[in-house]
Chains A and B, each alone.
Chain A
Amino acid sequence: MHKYIFKRLLLLIPVLLGVTFIVFTIMSFTPGDPAQLILGESAPPEKVEELRAEMGLDDPFLVQYFRFVGNALRGDFGRSYRTKREVFAEIFARFPNTLILTIVAIAIAVAIGIPVGIISATKQYSLMDSISMVGALLGVSMPNFWLGLMLILAFSVGLGWLPFAGFEGASSIILPAITLGTGAAAIITRMTRSSMLEVIRQDYIRTARAKGVAEKKVVNKHALKNALIPVITVVGLQFGYLLGGAVLTETVFSWPGVGRLLVEAIKQKDTPTVLASVVFMATTFSFVNLLVDILYAYVDPRIKSQYSK
């Protein structure tokens, strides 16, 4: 198992190299001159040239890339073109906000999705099942920025219960997390339901029933653990998806997260910020994947024995 984890961590290196290379390429070979952007709408060409040279933008592409890699290996991601701030400090200030938003959102999604999915699977074709499935379908169908705007109107303007924006204490996370988590909740509900329906048909569930195991226990002990295996994958995938997709929610709620920083940085061709944010995201994403795989092993002994090999 250790060996497996080590191997996976090792794999992160080529992935990060690849990710940065792709992003660096996109940032370098597309129109838009960072120097021009820094200097704004009125900047004499010589000034722009001067700044380009100073920023090292005139060096060959590969030189620039490897300079970045070299510095990054020493923990130096450089300074933002826009804010002049150390990119690492900036991201470290904002990434946790995105992470906490995503974690709360996924927690809400799991807390809703799994129980509702189970209930709706065990009571297949019941009213409860229909209601939750319709709810789940609406959940995945709604553009989430729209949902967010309406939640603000309902809970901040209408009822005055919750803050409308920003990160001002614990209550401000509720609306953005719901906005971000709704889609995932819906997907997890559907996945849990179908996985549960699948598992409940299995022979070993029949065996359990034939042993006289109470129905409740059949569901919670025998079926659930098996049904969770594909659900864990989905939760992991959704986590990654939410982490990246948080940008819309962050914009609606003026959430000080890294998604908004990244979009802003992409638009402003702030390459150091873009690279560092993507590295952070990709690393987190890979960690989540690893966590999912470890959880797998925890739930499914077959997979565990595979890892040990």
Chain B
Amino acid sequence: MTSSIAEKRDITSKNKNKKRSQWAEVWRRLRKNKMAMVGLGILIILIVSALSAPLIADYEDVVIKQDLINKLEEPSLEHIFGKDEFGRDIFARIIWGARVSLVVGIVAVGISVISGGTLGAVAGYYGGKLDTVIMRIMDIFLAIPSILLAIAIVSALGPSIINLMIAIGISYVPTYARIVRASVLSIREQEFIEAAKAIGASDFRIILRHIIPNALAPVIVQGTLGVAGAILSTAGLSFIGLGIQPPAPEWGAMLSTSRAYLRYAWHVTTFPGVAIMITILALNLLGDGLRDALDPRLKQ
């Protein structure tokens, strides 16, 4: 009896060690993927500049301060991206906008990952009726196009940055529930779960300690791409008038509110548009790289 417990424990701890080295292995493979590293590099630059935004430009005095006399000013040495329709420095707004866009993207995905992941894990782990009920509800949500669900939620709750994150987050819950459920179903059958059950671990503990870490790979990949999707959704919502409150700088809102000036002041839409594109590009490159790095079949 005791020996068997020791044995199982051994298996679990081995599994843990395996995990650690597995992440190191993933990182090693990821590092070799040049495109993924380019993506990661861009993201790091974005995050750093978002974090250091207050050092680059003062929010009150530059980002939201209007200068109507010099509105739509072309890029110059002083204002490298030019000025917008209120005479605000576009460069400063883009740097600050990185904060908003990244936060919206990450928090929205966080909401969907946590709620979708939990639902999916519970459904997949317990199976049976609970599974059926949860997944049917997810099917219902899936049948409502996600952008429309987001529109309905934002227009119901009112457009604000928090509601935006909630709306986008909720609309992608079913996606993550499905992904997590699928990987939980395959993991559930594996031996180390049996082992953990045998030593009397609680369900909660098993889900938290064993299943979730093992189901993480597809979620990480989807999540990276999901942040990109959330940023695009935010831009789309801004376009139909459900963006965040002005004058907070958000790339999608900058792009869509200045679209009337597209023909007269190229810089007003180009820079926010390019900022969005580069970010999405970087997230996609990283997501693809992660997918390859996490795919055990590619280990060779």
Contact = CB atoms under 8 A, between A and B. Distances in A.
A99 interface: no
A153 B263 contact: yes
A247 B236 CA distance: 9
Contact of A285 (B143, B158, B269): B143
Interface string A272-306: 00100010011001100000000000000000000
A140 interface: yes
A245 B152 contact: no
Interface in A232-283: 240-241, 243-245, 247-248, 251, 259, 262-263, 266-267, 274, 278, 281-282
Nearest to B239: A145
Contacts, number: 119
Interface in A135-162: 137-138, 140-146, 149-150, 153, 157
Interface of A: 14-16, 18-19, 22-23, 26-27, 30-31, 137-138, 140-146, 149-150, 153, 157, 190, 240-241, 243-245, 247-248, 251, 259, 262-263, 266-267, 274, 278, 281-282, 285-286
23 contacts: A15-B143, A18-B137, A18-B140, A18-B143, A19-B140, A19-B144, A26-B153, A30-B155, A141-B277, A142-B276, A143-B239, A241-B145, A243-B145, A244-B145, A245-B145, A247-B148, A248-B239, A251-B240, A266-B155, A274-B152, A278-B144, A282-B144, A285-B145
Contact-size category for B: 35 or more
Given A26-B153, A145-B239, A241-B145, 8 more contacts: A14-B136, A15-B143, A140-B280, A141-B281, A244-B145, A247-B147, A266-B152, A285-B145
Nearest to A183: B232
A138 B282 CA distance: 11
A22 B144 contact: yes
Interface stretch (B52-60, B109-117, B186-194, B251-259): B251-259
Contact of A140 (B147, B156, B263, B284): B284
A177 to B, nearest CB: 18
Contact of A145 (B145, B157, B256): B256
Given A22-B141, A137-B285, A153-B262, A263 B280 contact: no
Contacts of B278: 141
B156 to A, nearest CB: 4
Interface in B140-175: 140-148, 151-153, 155-158
B137 A143 contact: no
Contacts of A278: 144, 148
A143 B155 contact: no
Given A18-B136, A19-B144, A282-B144, A143 B285 contact: no
A247 B145 CA distance: 11
B236 A143 contact: yes
Interface string B246-278: 000000100110010011000001000100111
B276 A262 contact: no
B156 A26 contact: yes
Contact of B252 (A30, A143, A282): A143
A78 B3 CA distance: 71
A146 B255 contact: yes
Given A14-B136, A18-B140, A282-B143, A143 B273 contact: yes
Contacts of B7: none
Interface centre among A157, A240, A274 (most CB of B within 10 A): A240
**Closest 7 interchain pairs by CB?**
A244-B145, A18-B140, A30-B156, A141-B280, A282-B143, A141-B277, A143-B235
